[in-house]
Structure 1
């Protein structure tokens, strides 16, 4: 994924050497996208900064890629430089001892490079009883992308454990650390993400498709304990056999989340025991965000439509519910069951590549679904992936 989100998605990316000339289909979980103008694999922070700075100095379009799970790139490709951060590693400071009883028995201060695989980190966190990311298991992508979109699932968001993010500020040509209060986290957004567009960028400039702030390193502060954070998502609580608000071993939460994701096709091929290939996993995860509406607009929806308080008098509803009730069933394709791009057979919010789809096939499907929801409910769905060279 680009540094815009780490999300449940499709297929694993093949290994590529620094001299390879990949297509974007090799680097994205949707497995679509054409050739790139140039390709760099950064194995150190200095190499990452040098590649970004060289592209900006030459006024060459720049796409920083992590896990590729939040990108839809045109079939014509990207006539610029693609930079992939392949750094990994963990610097952990166990800064408190377990002198307290219960789940809050200590703390860990963790620093990770942006290229670190997200789910590998979650697995290590659960193994070490670092609390706060167990419900974010199974999300493909990297640490660098996680705070950009403020990834969240099953009642947790990564903003709950982030202390600061160290970035390369493309506008000033300097490293800059953004603290939690400066990151401006919201539902699937942050200052990092908003810096990608002129209307919301802090400096009013357009930074696209890579934000102004390129994440170098993420600092996390996590509690240590034998039990998870309170389980707040009803579906997850039912799977665990606990009441909403109860705590349970983090390893149980991780196992339950992986089972739930696997049942919805929201894991990478090969994760969670699925036989590859599974075309329901060839996706960008949830393709549309859940709409946040003014209260009056939410009131106009059918009585049975999901409604959740979203602050400031606004209401969040379910994009999947809207899509399903607008007549788009699981497995829907513009040209029927043999369409190369179809909704997942397990989850209507995922657009999937059935093995031979192009970017335009996926765009046609997304446009059809969005138009149907607008016509039925008057709600405009917003795409979650970063669109490069295509538009809805």
Structure 2
């Protein structure tokens, strides 16, 4: 069993907070990961899986349970499902950005806009990660996972994961538990085999971020390089020497609101329409069918609102901190809460609550945290 001397979670999370757990396993193979999880679950104690630690906000107290570090790695290219496509299966502990670099080098498109996102591949479906209009749900085929309730391993199609905006059935949102308590072992993606030539960039949000018009053509490598540069300018690429990157990335989610609520916000507030889920199948019981199919019920699409804009226009500029606090907004991006050196989880939580209160007071909207909170209250 891969047991190691427990390390403080402050050394394993990008926000640099968290006490030391009672027990810690470091799993470097699929079998070690399965064995560590089964032993932990048999104990019936609290448990926490840590990959890159980039989407965790952990409290200051010692963790009364077991932490399993996922350190598996490896990429397997599978037979293509159809011409022009490629399947890749990736171990859960593989570094996400290393996977993106591999796909770009192989001429495979579909996740290049998510370059520079910290963390591991196994965490990506939990959060349904995304950037600049690309989301994992667009390329995810299936995951292999192990369920806590049974200890059994199964392959689950992406359609059964409840993937939505920064959510899935595997994510424990603040104030709730995950709908399905399980740990991902591997992920399979379906990518477009476009090669290394230039092609038009799909998606207005990505084109806008890269300064491209609809007719421009660029290579995958160009997109990756420019996304990395854009993220680095916002302090969103990990750098030990840069306190602006000592964060959990975007701390608050961009808000999804109704179109009517969006109209109450200032017109200059950035917003993007969110396409409603459409069920193309209408089932009418034979006994109720009279030769007429009812027209579909129209609905206004929801709207995604920029949380960073709301924070800045609530009077909280980049670099803002409370008096005597070692926690602050990033000096490069208003959506990142940063540890400026030795900040406690309590200091970061105090800043987060202050931000929520200011935005709610100004705009009537309560921002929701994006990281998974462990032993922390907002």
**Equivalent pair of 2:171/2:177 in contact (CA under 8 Å):** no
1:93 to 78, 87, 112: 78
SS at match of 1:243: coil
Deviation at 1:173, TM superposition (A): 2.2
Task: Tell me whether 29-38 or 320-329 shows the greater mean CA deviation.
Answer: 29-38
How many aligned residue pairs are there? 351
Are residues 1:341 and 2:319 paired?
no
Over aligned residue pairs, what C-alpha RMSD do you find?
2.1
TM-score by length of 2: 0.87
Partner of 1:174: 152
Does the residue aligned with 1:191 lie in a helix, a strand or coil? coil
Counterpart selection for 2:259 from 295, 312, 315: 295
Residue in structure 2 matched with residue 351 of structure 1 by the alignment: 337
Q: Which structure has the higher relative contact order (CA within 8 Å, separation 6+)?
A: 1
Offset from partner CA, 1:34-67 (integer Å, 9 cap, x none): 1111110012222212211222221110100100
1:303-333, Cα deviation, whole Å (9 max, x unpaired): 2222222244322111001000000000000
The change in CA–CA distance for 1:82 and 1:160 in structure 2 (over 3 A counts) is: same
1:194-273 matches, cutoff 5 A: 201=179, 212-226=181-195, 227=198, 230-234=201-205, 236-237=206-207, 240-244=210-214, 246-269=216-239
Contact kept in structure 2, 1:122 and 1:136, CA below 8 Å: yes
CA shift in 2, pair 1:187/1:247, >3 Å: farther
Q: Is the 8 A contact 2:96 2:119 kept in 1?
A: yes
For residues 50-89 of structure 1, the aligned pairs below 5 Å read 50-89=35-74
> Which of these residues, 272, 292, 295, is aligned with residue 308 of structure 1?
272
Maintained 8 Å contact 1:113/1:143: yes
Counterpart Cα distance in 1 of 2:303 and 2:188: 32
Please name the residue that 1:377 is paired with. 363
Alignment-derived partner of residue 243 in structure 2: 279
Q: Return closer, same or farther for 1:228/1:154 CA change in 2, 3 Å cut-off.
A: farther
1:132 and 1:228 in contact (8 A); partners too: no
SS in structure 2 at match of 1:181: helix
CA contact (8 A) 1:64 1:83 kept: yes
- Of structures 1 and 2, the larger Rg is shown by 2
Q: 1:354 to 1:194 in 2, by over 3 A?
A: closer
The answer to whether the 8 A contact 1:231-1:245 is kept is: no
Aligned to 1:133: 111
Q: Distance in 1 between matches of 2:105 and 2:361?
A: 48
Task: State yes or no: 1:151 paired with 2:129.
Answer: yes
**8 Å contact kept, 1:136–1:156:** yes
Give structure 1 stretches of 5+ with no counterpart: 1-16, 98-104, 203-211, 270-275
Unaligned residue ranges in structure 2 (runs of 5+): 277-299
User: Residue 389 of structure 1: CA displacement?
Assistant: 0.7
CA deviation vs aligned residue, 1:245-296 (integer Å, no higher than 9, x gap): 7542000000000100010000011xxxxxx410001000000001111222
Pair 124,36 (structure 1): closer, same or farther in 2 beyond 3 Å: same
Q: Which runs of 4+ in 1 moved over 4 A?
A: 194-200, 238-241
Verify the 8 A CA contact 2:328 2:340 in the aligned structure 1: yes
